[in-house]
Chains A and B, each alone.
Chain A
Amino acid sequence: MTNEKKILSLPTRQRREAQAAEWVTKLDADTVSAIDRARFDQWMSSSEKNRECYYRIAKAWSALDDLEELQHLAESDDVAELLKQNRRQSRKIVQSIGAMAAMLIIGFSTWVALPYLNTQTYKYEAFISTAVGEMQNIQLPDGSLIKANTNTHLVIHYSKNSRDINLLRGEAFFEVAHAPDRPFSVVAGDRQVRAVGTAFNVRLREAKLAVTVEEGRVALINKKAMLVQNKNPENNAAQELTQISAGQRAVFDTDIEELEVLQAENLQRRLSWRNGILSFSGEPLSFMISEVSRYSNVEIEIADESLKDMPVAGYFKVGEVDAMLEVLDLMSDVTIERIDQNKVRLTKK
């Protein structure tokens, strides 16, 4: 581009090229009007340079047809591999966004909880929530321990004179540090389980509270029943429906509905979820299914009424629904029918 003349000529050349490109693309359209065709003929015949330029641009236009190869490339295995990698990277981004959000939430809740922790050691508040199939251990500032089972929500509220746990849903095991001046209570609606130094399990199920005591003694209370029976709410002993002790299990709402004494072995079986294990010996199939279902999103339907009462025994890891189904299939006359990924139907063979 050293020649000055060439530089000066460029605008003209560019204009001609632009005109040629107009014609090339006009003639490539779905329809070409007669007027356009006449104008084109006139433009072409008006100058040799126009014709030369037109052919050059038309060649470039048809050369761009080679880009079709890109489509073949896009369908190739190599590109499929790249797209897989791309998805993995996108997932990572989503995951790191998720992790960042989680960190923000943790940071925020610590910031909210911090003043309570610092100013008064006995004040403590927390909200614990576990997903389906998840378990969580919560170490409390007084040395007590909560083990929350699958799909459980609970609120911890510690104050100077009391330790209250509000069980909103699910099941949890409590190992309570001994502190007689600060009673430890698990509250679910009107019902209350009060303990001093003890270890017990509380499960909220269909508006009823099932309590299993492993150690010590707990009192079962229903505030509504108390009012109906016109008892004095200030009188501790009068509030209680009953007290149960180690090895006992009670189901209650406004009154005690079930009360049983469990053999040591049976007691451990009831509490085996704490170790991530579900154990059954002679319970009806329907019970086993409902227990196992708590830990996964797989919905299991017993299609045969007669199957529901079939006694079953087994020992499964929490969440291993497939293993349970396999055992059922092998050991009994139950047919397993997979409807889709999250639905299974059981029928009689």
Chain B
Amino acid sequence: MSKVYAAFLNCEAAIRRTIAKYCPQPADVDELTHETFLKCFAAERKADIREPERLLLFAAKNVALSEIKKKRNTTTDYIEDAPYSTDIVDRNQHDPEQHLNSRRKLAAFTIIIAQLSEDDRKILLMRKIDGMKYSQIATRMNISVSTVQKRLAASLTKCTQNMIATGYTPDEFGGKADSPKPDQAAAETSKTEWNADND
């Protein structure tokens, strides 16, 4: 398990309290808590985190503060109110709803891979983030190519199960940003479908 994730589990309540202190809207607390975790987990890829709990709380405060700043800006100038608004719309800009969904998914997936063992996570991310070949990973980790494949298969099984448990359906896995987030009921039905898969 990743150091940051272990610390996150330990002090999630404190992180939520920190965020709630700055952001009075309870609906945002979930998102910002996940954002806090994502940032610290990303930081863990870059350096050894000596005091993950303190870093998480520090990040929570920063995330909450920058959210307030963003909120203030959006409440003061509405882009639709600006004249010639159609001209300023950035075509490459993501729909905020889409962005939120993909962010939520990233947080969910990150929490899932954070639970893998140190080596398994390393191997998976070498493949998925760094795009390394199995043979390169094998050399780096000093294991055989077939062990790399076996470890990846084991991680994949775990991750799939956890994705479903978190409410993500295989159709959503595909990760097209515009696929709507299904409500809880839809997730439930798909889960039962698979459960019925028996011989």
Contact = CB atoms under 8 A, between A and B. Distances in A.
A9 B197 CA distance: 8
Interface stretch (A65-73, A165-173, A267-275): A65-73
Interface string B155-198: 01101110100001011111100000000000000000011111
B39 A82 contact: yes
Interface stretch (A21-29, A105-113, A247-255, A309-317): A21-29
B43 A79 contact: yes
A3 B105 CA distance: 30
A17 B160 contact: yes
Interface stretch (B25-33, B53-61, B72-80): B53-61
A45 interface: no
B133 A30 contact: yes
Given A60-B170, A67-B125, A70-B38, A18 B50 contact: no
Q: Which of A17, A18, A64, A87 has the most CB of B within 10 A?
A: A64
| A25, A68, A71, most chain B CB atoms within 10 A | A25
B105 to A, nearest CB: 7
DSSP majority for the B interface? helix
Given A21-B154, A63-B109, A79 B198 contact: no
B87 interface: no
Given A67-B106, A70-B41, A90-B50, A52 B197 contact: yes
B144 interface: no
Interface in B51-89: 51, 54-55, 58-59, 62-63, 66
A53 B59 CA distance: 40
Nearest to A78: B39
Contacts of A12: 198-199
A18 B134 contact: no
B109 A83 contact: no
A121 interface: no
B145 interface: yes
Interface string A144-163: 00000000000000000000
Given A65-B175, A70-B38, A59 B195 contact: no
B160 A85 contact: no
A71 B128 CA distance: 10
A26 B129 contact: no
Contacts of B134: 29-30
Interface in A226-244: none
A74 B106 CA distance: 13
A13 interface: yes
A76 B113 CA distance: 21
A13 B153 contact: no
B46 interface: yes
Interface size class on chain B is 35 or more
Given A9-B197, A13-B194, A64-B159, A79 B153 contact: no
Contact of A71 (B58, B102, B129, B175): B129
B45 interface: yes
B15 interface: no
A109 B68 CA distance: 54
A79 B197 contact: no
A85 B55 CA distance: 7
A59 B40 CA distance: 27
Nearest to B40: A82
A63 B157 CA distance: 13
B152 interface: yes
B98 interface: no
A67 B174 CA distance: 13
Nearest to A12: B199
A6 interface: yes
Given A9-B197, A57-B160, A63-B109, A83 B173 contact: no
A9 B198 CA distance: 5
A214 to B, nearest CB: 51
B49 interface: yes
B45 A74 contact: yes
Nearest to B103: A69
Contacts of B135: 30
B92 to A, nearest CB: 15
A62 interface: yes
Contact of A60 (B38, B110, B173): B173
Interface in A69-117: 69-71, 73-74, 76, 78-79, 81-83, 85-87, 89-90, 93
B42 interface: yes
A25 B55 contact: no
Contacts of A30: 133-135, 145
9 contacts: A57-B157, A59-B174, A67-B113, A71-B42, A74-B42, A79-B39, A83-B47, A85-B55, A93-B50
Interface of B: 38-43, 45-47, 49-51, 54-55, 58-59, 62-63, 66, 102, 105-106, 109-110, 113, 124-125, 127-129, 133-135, 145, 149-150, 152-154, 156-157, 159-161, 163, 168, 170-175, 194-199
State the 5 A-B residue pairs at the shortest beta-carbon distance, nearest first.
A9-B198, A63-B173, A73-B42, A59-B173, A74-B42
